[in-house]
Amino acid sequence: MKILHTADWHIGKRLHKHYLYKDFDLFIGWLCDLIHQEKIDVILVSGDVFDLANPSAEARKQYYQALIALKSLNCHLVITGGNHDSPSMLDAPKDLLQALEMTVIGGLPEKIEDCIIALPNQKNPEVIIAALPYLRDADVRLASEGNTYEDRLAAIREGIQARFDEAAAICKEKYPDIPAIAMGHLYAAGVSTSESERDIQIGNQAAFKAEQFSKYFSYVALGHIHQPQRVNAQVPTFYSGSPLMFSFSERKDEKRVLVIDTKQGFEPESFAIPPFRKLLKIAGNLEEVQDKLANLEHEGKLDTLVEVEMREQDYSTKKLAQLDDLISNYKKDNIEIIKYRAQFKNQQQQSSEVFGSRQNLEDLKPKEVFESLLEKEAYLPEEKQELLHTFDELKELLTTE
């Protein structure tokens, strides 16, 4: 049996107000070709199908179009929810999709047995999928409010491990001697991240140690981290990464999907996804930025997107105005500047307000704003830590439903 591992589609994602619908369409087209060529039997999508819990009509349409395209290839889809997804929204059509051999588990069901999927069927299973979605606080029984910050972190880690151990025990009991694959959407300790991931489980502080995954699993298919990478664990454990570049910090990543051939074992083969557009970051003083922009050449099927950062020694309103004019008047076919800013090494105090007004609000993470406010208040270190913890918990509650 051949199994393909992907994750973090983030349908409906915007890169600085630039929608990536065309990028996703090209990815699905490429994916369908690969599935046909490699004769894939099962597709695993490990969370964050959508970028928003309440996706737009266009994003939902694109999701269902992708499912139709993949279903036409006669492979079974197993889709789990991530921290960006609404469990109820993903689960709503699950009965209909189940009839089409598509298993969707948006949120952790009351009975964890409902996450255990025998493929190709229960009578003659060749592989068992423990399809665990993103585990929210209630799923891992977060410790009571009276516990310390460290106790809460430990409780989350223990809760995550307990859920995976429970799933492994069910697989072993119901389907002995059949290899099992676990799906998860979480933050594992020691991984490399990008700017486009949202913090989960108390601001990523409750990082799960992948060595704690049950050795019963033959492979662990993870989602949440957008940079593809192997995780240090007792069994092959991988983040497939996102199929598209969702921030300029990912512009040098090689995006990929992973394919397991169970006849050969559970070490996956990596298939690089071709970049459908280029993301470029242009930096330097005003003259250097002008030269680099003038020499840009378009590559790829879609428009090249550019981030510009002017770096100067001394603050200058004249150079700020010149940068504004340069960006406003820049016109080159298939090249679009979607973000720009200026940095001054010797910036004067009064200029900070001017520069601040030029910084896009979307460039700032909510936690960064909150931390800057805390710095202006006379809190003790332990009080700041507790306030940050409370902020992380509230933020996670707001992003669930």
| Identity at 189, one-letter amino acid code | A
The DSSP letter of residue 11 is B
| CA atoms of 25 and 219, how far apart (whole Å) | 29
State mean pLDDT over 277-306.
95
State mean pLDDT over 139-150.
64
Query: Distances from the Cα of 383 to the Cαs of 145, 199, 332, 372, 386, in angstroms?
Result: 15, 21, 52, 15, 5
- Better-scored residue on pLDDT, 196 or 38: 38
CB burial class (10 A; 0-12, 13-18, 19+) of residue 12? buried
Whether pTM exceeds 0.75: yes
| CA atoms of 235 and 216, how far apart (whole Å) | 9
Alpha-carbon dihedral 339, 344, 347, 352, rounded to 10 degrees: 0
Residue 278 · residue 244 · CB < 8 Å: no
State mean pLDDT over 111-127.
94
Q: Give the three-class secondary structure for 354.
A: helix
| CA atoms of 130 and 116, how far apart (whole Å) | 5
Ramachandran class of 202: left when φ > 0, alpha when ψ lies in -120 to 50, beta otherwise:
left
pLDDT in tens, 234-280: 899 999 999 999 999 899 889 999 999 999 999 999 999 999 999 99
Task: Give the CA count within 13 Å in the CB-facing half-sphere of 21.
Answer: 13
State mean pLDDT over 57-81.
96
